[in-house]
Amino acid sequence: MNEQTTTISPFTLHVPDESLTALADRLAQTRWPLEDAGTGWDHGVPVDYAKSLVQYWATEFDWRAQERRINAVPQFTTPIDGHDVHFFHVRSDHGGATPLLLLHGWPGAPTEFLPMIDALVDPASHSGTSEDAFDVVIATIPGFGISGPAVGWNTERAAAAMAALMARLGYERYAVHGYDTGALIGRAMGLIDREHLLGLHLTDVLGGEELTPETADFSDPREARAVERSMRYQYELGGYAMVQATRPQSLGLALTDSPVGLLTWLVERFKDWSAAEDSPEEVFTRDDMLTTVSIYWHFATIWSSMRYYKEGATGWGVEPEKSETPLAIVAMPHDLGSAVPRTVEGANNLVRWEELATGGHFAGWEQPDLMVQDIRAAVQVLNAG
């Protein structure tokens, strides 16, 4: 790769046949642990459910069909800061469309946003008006999925790369939507590229003040719910984060070598963090989940994606730098987030706070139509400001 080039190259997703065959062989040779029929999801992914999903992955899941679906959307790569950044890019036919960068989180993939594209670029055909039109850029975070493995990256470096990408595409003014790692990157972009950023549309602001039972106002339902979420995350769901923030390499070695280990590590997140109650398939199809898992597997990016936790751990609990970039929050009722308006306002220029009726952590993946509607409404507020 020529470090000096700014070339934007068309990209077509194609996993070699050898990689698909090798995966099938590994799945067929899975060594299963002793199954305890009395345990459920509170112990992690149940063995019987894992066996069923692995069987589907090995014998029924059609990766080539998913490739065709993904390749129906224009994709590109361009070298930025030593890494070939992968992204989808679809321009609207409507004049004056707002450029919009969509940023996924961990353990997500940019393919989550594909069902949103048509309504964003052609709102007149999807219950909107031409004023709601967007040029859509969906980037793969360096070190995740199709962008390939990368080391030495953190949210600040990724933010600089995303700002460079939008500049390279010729956008002088743009908005950003993100969740999870994408929200962290988006907020960092607001600090380094304020002059070009119309505003941020995020599902949460991570890393700021945490409410505690001592500081919360329990007469406010939002604050009571935030404390409940925080306690559940701390004592039930947060173990993955401690491992990834302290010893990601050991886990990364295991998950890079074991497709079943990778599958269960990710599917547990899909179930626990979404609006699902008894099974992740209440929210996601098997094909959707396995598409994301397969992207991590075939591009061997689970370890480099988890390193963002290690790289960012030094900032946990540190008061964030004040951001003047206009911020619109869309809070999902089944998300993990514990931020509330008064904890966000101190370090951010909060201009809108909306709470949706349904949906969890993977907002655009779980509720694409609702997310499109909220992005439209939020950008109207950002433009008015």
Question: Which pLDDT value is given to residue 215?
Answer: 86
Q: Which residues of the chain have pLDDT under 50?
A: 1-2
Tell me whether residue 289 is exposed, middle or buried, using C-beta atoms within 10 angstroms of its C-beta: 0 to 12, 13 to 18, 19 or more. buried
Question: Which pLDDT value is given to residue 4?
Answer: 64
Question: Which pLDDT value is given to residue 1?
Answer: 46
* Domain tally, the chain: 1
> Residue 11 is encoded by which pair of tokens?
């990209």
Please tell me which residue in 135, 180, 272, 288 is annotated as part of the active site: 180
DSSP-derived 3-state class of residue 324: coil
- The verdict on residue 358 lying in a domain is yes
Domain that holds residue 145: 42-384
Question: Which pLDDT value is given to residue 317?
Answer: 60
d(CA 238, CA 240): 5
Please tell me which residue in 177, 296, 361, 374 is annotated as part of the active site: 361
User: What integer best gives the mean pLDDT of the chain?
Assistant: 94
DSSP-derived 3-state class of residue 294: helix
Strands 98-103 and 83-90: unpaired
278 is catalytic: no
- The verdict on residue 33 lying in a domain is no
- Is 110 in contact with 102 (CB distance < 8 Å)? yes
Please tell me which residue in 309, 334, 335, 374 is annotated as part of the active site: 309
- The verdict on residue 216 lying in a domain is yes
Question: Which pLDDT value is given to residue 2?
Answer: 46
CATH number of residue 336's parent domain:
3.40.50.1820
- The per-residue pLDDT for range 370-383, each reduced to its tens digit, is 999 999 999 999 99
- The verdict on residue 132 lying in a domain is yes
Question: Which pLDDT value is given to residue 36?
Answer: 78
User: pTM for the complete prediction?
Assistant: 0.96
At residue 86, what are phi and psi to the nearest 5 degrees?
-95, 140
Strands 197-202 and 174-178: parallel
Question: Which pLDDT value is given to residue 186?
Answer: 98
At residue 216, what are phi and psi to the nearest 5 degrees?
-80, 150
- Is 270 in contact with 262 (CB distance < 8 Å)? no
Question: Which pLDDT value is given to residue 37?
Answer: 77
- The verdict on residue 83 lying in a domain is yes
d(CA 181, CA 348): 18
Tell me whether residue 274 is exposed, middle or buried, using C-beta atoms within 10 angstroms of its C-beta: 0 to 12, 13 to 18, 19 or more. buried
Give start and end residues of each alpha helix (H) in 3-62: 17-28, 47-59
25 is catalytic: no
361 is catalytic: yes
**98-103 β-sheet, strand order:** 9-11, 75-80, 83-90, 134-139, 98-103, 174-178, 197-202, 326-331, 349-355
Q: Which residue has the tokens 């947060």?
A: 238
Question: Which pLDDT value is given to residue 314?
Answer: 76
- The verdict on residue 134 lying in a domain is yes
d(CA 320, CA 7): 35
- The verdict on residue 21 lying in a domain is no
- The verdict on residue 17 lying in a domain is no
Nearest to 201 by CA among 275, 271, 108, 98: 98
